[in-house]
Amino acid sequence: MSLTPTIGRRTALAGAAALAGTRIARAQTPAEVKLAMLVPLSGPWARSGLLEQMGARMAVDDINNAGGIKALGGAKVKLLEFDAGESAEKAKDAAQRMVAQEPDLSGGFGCWLSTFTLAATEVTERAELPWLTLSYSDLITNRGFKYVFQCSPTADAQAKELVPIIMDLAQSAGGKRPTKVAIVGDNSASSVSFYKAIHEIVVPEQKLTLVTDEVFTPPLADATTIVQKLRSGKPDFVLMQSTNAGDDRMLVDKFYEFGLTAQKMAMIGGGGHWCQPELTKLTTKEHLEGVIVGLANWPGKAMQDVNKRFIERTKEPWFGHDSLFGYTHVMTYVAAIEHAKSADRHKVMESLHTMDVTDGPARFFPDGRIKFDEKGRRVGAKLCIVQWRDGVPVPVFPTNVATHAAVWPKA
């Protein structure tokens, strides 16, 4: 007679089922979570993409060094990087390669320039891949897409918000209320959205006279004619909607050559590229002195710890708009995955649509909240204003971010 206990059939089946369930649970909990970054890493917009890359890589290290994604048993984040290049066609091609090569992506972010983002998100939406972007164009989230999320205030919203803020800054800094404005900028998607609101709403509401309206195709070859027209119009301030540091430099250098410094005529740039460290190498701090910049976000008082670590890590002189968004996009995905308790892209999309966060990555925005509306736009997204002072961009608006008061040209 055998001394081995007899195992009943039901007990054996229950044990097998439990073992299978454990295996399934393990299979559904990935060892790593893949996020894609598609930004310009070559061409005229490469510096912006590289800065975003620096911020994203730091966020990945911060998450993984802190134990990974808790809801997935400590799964590590893996960042997969793709180059959007210098055209919408190349950005779209890169997006197609990305979704074909990496079918298990949980989400992605990019493509910096709105024109690139519009092209690439046609691909990511078909692939049902969640996509976060800092790009400004209203068209990005006006197409009824379910998987695209815009963290910045749109170009239309920025146009409506920027000029009233500038008018208030002019008067609070001791200047008179501006009456004449000029526009100089390129024909990229975000710029076109910006112009529409300026022409149709902002100029009439603010009782401004538009004295110069010059649009060019980037990159800008020569700014002489533009500046000559602008100087003859004698605006109180000029809105500069270029989209890369090379064109920014071309404009401020030519302004300076014609005696139009920011101490004589207020210059208002738009976008994070206006605050890149690269500008201090392309031109001089004298040419930049006093230039005011409206952008979608800037590290404020709540981010001093991250700012310090970023500078130590990268040797960059400051942590700015582009790097901040790279960092925040990764952190937002982690918050969404923790909320969903899943890295499945469809569940991540649903989590992004339903989450309402006021801590963690939300502290990296001036309004302190991450919630997206039905279009995929971040609710309450606000504009930040910085100003070049002695070779460094410093925040001057809003008050919870500002470290300096704005300076306006004296009449």
| Reported pTM | 0.88
Domain borders along the chain are 28-153+301-364, 156-295+384-397
> What tokens does 332 get?
């937002």
Q: Are 248 and 279 in contact (CB under 8 A)?
A: yes
SS (H, E, C) the chain: CCCCCCCCHHHHHHHHHHHHHHHHHHHHCCCEEEEEEEECCCCCCHHHHHHHHHHHHHHHHHHHHCCCEHHHCCEEEEEEEEECCCCHHHHHHHHHHHHHHCCCCCEEEECCCHHHHHHHHHHHHHCCCCEEECCCCHHHHCCCCCCEEECCCCHHHHHHHHHHHHHHHHHHCCCCCCCEEEEEEECCHHHHHHHHHHHHHHHHHCCCEEEEEEEECCCCCCCHHHHHHHHHHCCCEEEEECCCHHHHHHHHHHHHHCCCCCCCCEEEEECHHHHCCCHHHHCCHHHHCCCEEEECCCCCHHHHHHHHHHHHHHCCCCCCHHHHHHHHHHHHHHHHHHHHCCCCHHHHHHHHHHCCECCHHHHHCCCCCECECCCCEECCCCCEEEEEECCEEEEEECCCCCCCCCCCCCC
Strand partners, 32: 76
Domains 28-153+301-364 and 156-295+384-397 equal at CATH topology level:
yes
Non-local CB neighbours of 174 within 8 Å, separated by 6+ positions: 408, 410
Tell me how far apart the alpha carbons of residues 336 and 107 are, in angstroms, rounded to a whole number. 10
pLDDT in tens, 141-157: 999 999 999 999 999 99
Per-residue pLDDT 10s for the chain (411 aa) are 333 334 444 444 444 444 444 444 444 567 899 999 999 999 999 999 999 999 999 999 999 999 999 999 999 999 999 999 999 999 999 999 999 999 999 999 999 999 999 999 999 999 999 999 999 999 999 999 999 999 999 999 999 999 999 999 999 887 789 999 999 999 999 999 999 999 999 999 999 999 999 999 999 999 999 999 998 999 999 999 999 999 999 999 999 999 999 989 999 999 999 999 989 999 999 999 999 999 999 997 778 899 999 999 999 999 999 999 999 999 999 999 999 999 999 999 999 999 999 999 999 999 999 999 999 999 999 999 999 999 999 999 999 899 899 999 976
Q: Which fold has domain 156-295+384-397?
A: Rossmann fold (3.40.50)
pLDDT at 29: 65
Tell me how far apart the alpha carbons of residues 222 and 227 are, in angstroms, rounded to a whole number. 10
Question: Please, how many CA atoms are within 13 Å of residue 360, restricted to the half-sphere of its CB?
Answer: 19
Please state which of the four CATH numbers 3.40.50.2300, 3.40.50.1000, 3.40.50.300, 3.30.70.20 is assigned to the domain occupying 28-153+301-364. 3.40.50.2300
pLDDT at 301: 74
pLDDT at 26: 44
pLDDT at 327: 98
Tell me how far apart the alpha carbons of residues 362 and 335 are, in angstroms, rounded to a whole number. 10
